[in-house]
Amino acid sequence: MEKLEHIGIAVKNLEVANKLFAQLLGCAHYKVEEVESEGVRTSFFEVSGVKIELLEATREDSPIAKFIGKRGEGIHHLAFEVSDINESIDTYREKGFELINAAPKIGADNKLICFLHPKTTQGVLIELCQER
């Protein structure tokens, strides 16, 4: 892993959360992006090179809707940048981590992404991401 790329936070209402995080972080979000395939609308903030990704569900079967239903709003995942996501997938699988998606998929912010299942990572959902 190269660096902590962003922290994903599940929110019920993106407009409300954008206002709150702008007050909290002292800067406005710099983009909003919808990822249709994941059923999410995201917004991004940046503080000293680390991004904060707010995630709002766009439909009921979205993983974010399920997460909020079970655990409420809050930290959803930590995303680490990798230089070669396919190689990382093989490496983590060999190390015994369970992957949620076996092949990289397209995420927000022009990234290829893959998730490690929280049951093999001490309850923390880990995203691997590579710039496309």
Q: Given the complex with Zn ion, which of 10 and 24 has the nearer CB atom? A: 10
Q: Cα separation of 6 and 24, whole Å?
A: 17
CB of residue 41 to Zn ion, shortest distance in Å: 13
Nearer to Zn ion (CB atom), residue 45 or residue 94 = 45
Q: Which residues bind Zn ion (CB under 5 A)?
A: 8, 53, 79, 127
Beta carbon of residue 127, minimum distance to Zn ion (angstroms, whole number): 5
- Closest approach of Zn ion to the CB of residue 35, in Å: 10
CB closer to Zn ion, 79 vs 82: 79
To Zn ion, the closest distance from the beta carbon of 126 in angstroms equals 10
Sheet strand arrangement including 105-107: 31-35, 40-47, 50-57, 3-11, 74-81, 126-131, 111-116, 105-107
- Residue with smaller CB distance to Zn ion, 63 or 120: 63
